[in-house]
Amino acid sequence: MQLQDKVAIITGAAQGIGLACAQRFVAEGAKVTLNDLDQAGLEAAAARIEAAGGQCLVAAGNVVDRDFVQKMVADTMETLGGLDILVNNAGITRDAIGHKMDETVWDQVIEVNLKGVFNCLQAAMVPMRAQGSGSIINVSSTSRYGNPGQMNYSASKGGVVSLTRTAAKELGKKGVRVNCVSPGTIDTEMLKTVPEDMLELFTQFMVPLARLGRPEEVANLVVFLASEESSYITGQTINVDGGAHMA
């Protein structure tokens, strides 16, 4: 198993990509702290993981709250025995065309999607630096290339990429790797507000693989980046988007 006896924190873990990552991590031998604002969703996720024989800790709270994040890291280390991996997956959308975007909506998205990532990264890097190892995976989005109606979301996800590169440069000599995954159109709750005919048109004409992605397909990459299989990879952003954006 690729993550045997490793300890991970996964934010936004109640559903979608975060839950898929948690399930894969446990299958690969890791112990996980599950974070989300959705208490009921977290408890359901924890029940599924424990039923599969996994060990997990539930940490319901907001990644924007620095005190909460510090406590989550401390509780993880005390209860699960350390911290080897952080998956910064928590994120929200509050879409609006630019000239109609309220300041509050802008602030909410930037706070969760960018400040929240920084809060968790900063808290996790302290024990990782001290032990001389660790892997941090930040979740961006192909919306970082620019997406109408998502000035706030696109800006936040572009910021995550720059944050990843800077952290990788700062932490590399300390043995800590920092990478970024950038999902495209993945079949999660976040897409439920998009009309089905629009999704069909997009996948048929803009995605070479001509379908939506699955959360498990993102989780597969996250597991790889968390494991020693990727031991010489840091500072990278990898798209998981069926070929919609090619380097």
Q: Convert the pLDDT of each residue in 8-39 to its tens digit.
A: 999 999 999 999 999 999 999 999 999 999 99
Q: How far apart are CA 101 and CA 178, in angstroms?
A: 32
Most confident of 148-152, 160-164, 202-206: 160-164
pLDDT at 190 over 80: no
What residues have CB less than 8 Å from 232, skipping those under 6 apart? Answer: none
Question: What burial class does residue 34 get, using C-beta atoms within 10 Å of its C-beta: 0-12 exposed, 13-18 middle, 19+ buried?
Answer: buried
pLDDT (tens digit per residue) in 218-233: 999 999 999 999 999 9
Cβ contact 173:235 at 8 Å: no
Q: Rounded mean pLDDT of 171-191?
A: 94
pLDDT (tens digit per residue) in 111-124: 999 999 999 999 99
Average pLDDT, the chain: 96
Q: How far apart are CA 142 and CA 119, in angstroms?
A: 22
Cβ contact 133:83 at 8 Å: no
Share of the chain above pLDDT 90, in %: 92
One-character DSSP codes across the chain: -TTTT-EEEEES-SSHHHHHHHHHHHHTT-EEEEEES-HHHHHHHHHHHHHTT--EEEEES-TT-HHHHHHHHHHHHHHHS---EEEE-------B-GGG--HHHHHHHHIIIIIHHHHHHHHHHHHHHHHT-EEEEEE--GGGG--TTBHHHHHHHHHHHHHHHHHHHHHGGGTEEEEEEEE-SBSSGGGTTS-HHHHHHHHHHH-TT-S-B-HHHHHHHHHHHHSGGGTT--S-EEEESTTSS--
Cβ contact 62:115 at 8 Å: no
pTM: 0.96
Quote the pLDDT of residue 196.
85
Catalytic positions, written as ranges: 153
User: Of 212, 240, 244, whose CA–CA distance to 224 is shortest?
Assistant: 240
Quote the pLDDT of residue 167.
98
pLDDT class of 1 with cuts at 50, 70, 90: confident
Residue 74 CA to its chain's centroid (Å): 20
Q: How far apart are CA 159 and CA 17, in angstroms?
A: 20
**What are the beta bridge partners of residue 122?**
none
In the structure encoding, which two tokens stand for residue 6, read together?
């490793």
Quote the pLDDT of residue 193.
73
Q: Rounded mean pLDDT of 87-98?
A: 95
pLDDT at 179 over 90: yes
Quote the pLDDT of residue 191.
76
